[in-house]
A and B are shown apart, each in its own frame.
Chain A
Amino acid sequence: MNERVLEKLAILSDAAKYDVSCSSSGSKRKNVNKGLGDASSSGICHAYTEDGRCVSLLKILLTNHCIFDFAYCVSRKSNDTKRAAFTVQEVVDLTINFYRRNYIEGLFLSSGIFSSADYTMERLVAIARKLRTEHKFNGYIHLKTIPGASDELLKEAGLYADRMSVNLEMPTESSLKLLAPDKNRDDMIKPMTFLKNEIIANRHDKKTLVKTPLFVPAGQSTQMVIGATPENDWQILKLSNAFYKQMNLKRVYYSGYVPISNDNRLPAIGTPVPMLRENRLYQADWLMRFYGFSVDEIVTKEDPFLDMQIDPKLNWALRNLDQFPVDINRADLEMIKRVPGIGLRSAHKIGEARRFSFLTWEHLKKFNIVLSRAKFFLKIKSSDLDQKDYSAMQIKSMILSGGHSKYSINHSPQLTMF
């Protein structure tokens, strides 16, 4: 390896970084026969870059040569940028040597489309095959599903990969038509559906056959770009909900659009990344996946945007004050989880501790509950009711005046385009 590899790594990691997925968890792949690696543990973030994002996998493109010209993509054909391509062996060597030094959990390999979908997918599969068979590599592999690749190739990829993903990128068909006229939404949904069915079939085999190979054990994920096009949060979250419920996706990622183009269909270079909005979407996503909220409780068609001032859980509580205050010693745990300022861990602690003692404010303080929030929604004794007689507006302003947002003004969620 030489200077050229260093340059390729710079180009092809820079081009891959807008894919925000960094997860390395959820696989069941163990170390076998004293080989290298083990992807069975929970995910590990090996480092954090200056943007505060986690580095878990070696996330690179095989090449940034691309025959397509999607406006939002940094590797689009018309973009005047340096091009490079790794050889199969180079990617294998980088992965193995980084892994052995404990820099990474594994490889996240994507690619620009050169010549055809099958040709590109074939190369990705060749790398995964080489890692798994020749190098007995049991680390994590995330492969991009190239839309339009044959079922046979996808099936082989699934035998080597822990996770596969195809990025929807644009939340609606019309945005996709605007920014990527050559791209068809069905082309992306089709391989996703194929893999979903293969995963289900594999799980079924596992129950009935003695030995079945792992097949995409960490499931599928996708990504949507936020703030490049005018979709509202209701449209986005409805879609996420459908992905979780109908497509069995493990994760939907939200990627605040980082302006990379002078194309006048997109926010101009220098427009702030909508980080706050992205954060609110993740909060809403968490509420759906872990806190038992349905999407309709979070946003509605009539009120389609998440509140930027307060998080969606607090927002829900303020709209449903009739369900509060919650009796900390008696209420159903599902309801305790819905109290602003109480997370899953503290809800668990409350559930266990109240079997032993009558809980008081003193206990709650020690459970790391954000009492400055939670106090408006909890009661311990019946006399606590009096202080709870505030309106939603009053509670909101009291909570807001007590804290400082971690987002400074330049992370404003406002779009400057459209």
Chain B
Amino acid sequence: MQIVEYDGTIEGFFCAVFNVYEYKFSNCSIVRQQYLEGNLFASKHVVHFHPQHCYRVWKGLKSRLSPRAYKNFERAFLSETKGIEDILLRYVHYVFSSTKSVELDFSHEAVLAVNHAAKKVHREAHRMEAFIRFHKTPDDLYYATVDPDHNVLPLIIDHFKNRFADQQWLIYDTARKYGFHYDLQQVQRVKIQFSQEAIHGNAEAIYSEDEAMYQQLWQQYFTSVNIKARKNLKLQLQHMPKRYWKNMVETKPGP
């Protein structure tokens, strides 16, 4: 068994795929650095980033896949699910070795698996578009923290950019420790060093004057629109799983 180690970025993954073809690895597994486990009996190949390698694999896929199928490929990659790289590799093999378009061949194991993964990621991206809650700071920045299961931020920034074109915002993934900031002109990827106070300290200190009031109004609204005679907690949880609640104004645990 040949382990192919890469850095976890999609560019790195394309280079890894290039290496697999270059060195003709047949029994191999592409693993991101942080998921690497000691495997005594496997030899390890470390992928180095090379723009040409990355470009050739990307170009090869782009030219063989419809925009929609490529998007799904990207989504599946962003799932960061353990083992997704090997599924994507089998998908690439199938696509590159076929003369006609096979992206809709759901009878193929890898095509179906990529689509399933993509669907999961797409669902969570949509959930983030719904469940993100901005808090307004005194300098008119709207900021939100999230920690999704999958790395969905790259998939949702266009949505927020189109929607909140006239307000500055920052969405930060606390699990992956990076975020995106919109400064009224463009969106940039950012990394922030949060002070201890910002994490554990007095939250009101960083809110704008009317923030607490609108949070209270929203909580009131959320309570009032519920119809008690139709109580159905199971349905609520199905649509809004508990793991998202801590970042939401209406469901976060009280002080």
Interface on A for B, CB 8 Å cutoff? 1, 5-6, 9-10, 13-14, 16-18, 30-31, 34-38, 41, 44-55, 58-59, 94, 97-98, 100-103, 136, 256, 258-259, 272-273, 275, 349, 352-357, 359, 363, 366-367, 406
Contacts and interface: CB of A to CB of B under 8 A. Distances in A.
Task: State which size class the interface on B falls in.
Answer: 35 or more
Nearest to B119: A345
Closest 6 CB pairs between A and B? A52-B235, A357-B107, A353-B106, A52-B232, A352-B104, A51-B230
B221 A58 contact: yes
17 contacts: A1-B210, A9-B220, A9-B224, A13-B224, A45-B130, A47-B130, A49-B222, A49-B226, A51-B227, A51-B231, A51-B232, A51-B235, A51-B236, A58-B221, A102-B134, A103-B249, A357-B107
A17 B108 CA distance: 47
Interface stretch (B21-29, B56-64, B164-172): B164-172
Contacts of A50: 226, 228, 231-233, 236
B107 A356 contact: yes
Contacts of B155: none
B173 interface: no
Contacts of A14: 224-225
A249 to B, nearest CB: 24
Given A46-B130, A100-B164, A353-B106, 20 more contacts: A6-B220, A9-B217, A17-B226, A30-B162, A34-B166, A36-B165, A37-B163, A41-B129, A48-B240, A50-B232, A51-B227, A51-B230, A51-B235, A52-B236, A101-B142, A101-B218, A136-B166, A256-B230, A356-B104, A359-B107
B157 interface: no
Nearest to A98: B218
Contacts of B92: none
B65 interface: no
Nearest to B100: A356
B216 A6 contact: yes
Among A14, A34, A53, A102, max chain B CB count under 10 A is at A102
Contact of B221 (A9, A53, A349, A357): A9
Given A100-B136, A103-B218, A356-B108, A17 B210 contact: no
Interface in B123-151: 126, 129-136, 142, 144
A38 B166 CA distance: 12
B27 to A, nearest CB: 25
Interface in B241-255: 248-251
B239 A52 contact: yes
A101 B214 contact: yes
Interface in B63-109: 102, 104-108
B118 to A, nearest CB: 13
A282 B250 CA distance: 29
A48 B232 CA distance: 10
B112 to A, nearest CB: 6
Contact of A98 (B106, B214, B223): B214
B222 A47 contact: yes
Contacts of B166: 34-36, 136
A373 B233 CA distance: 27
A401 B209 CA distance: 59
A50 B164 CA distance: 29
A49 B130 contact: no
Contact of A356 (B105, B216, B217, B239): B105
A51 B230 CA distance: 5
Contacts of B192: none
B169 to A, nearest CB: 9
A367 B106 contact: yes
A44 B216 contact: no
A49 B129 contact: no
Given A9-B220, A37-B163, A55-B222, A49 B214 contact: no
A100 B142 contact: yes
Contacts of A16: 225
Given A45-B130, A98-B214, A31 B163 contact: yes
B208 to A, nearest CB: 11
B200 interface: no
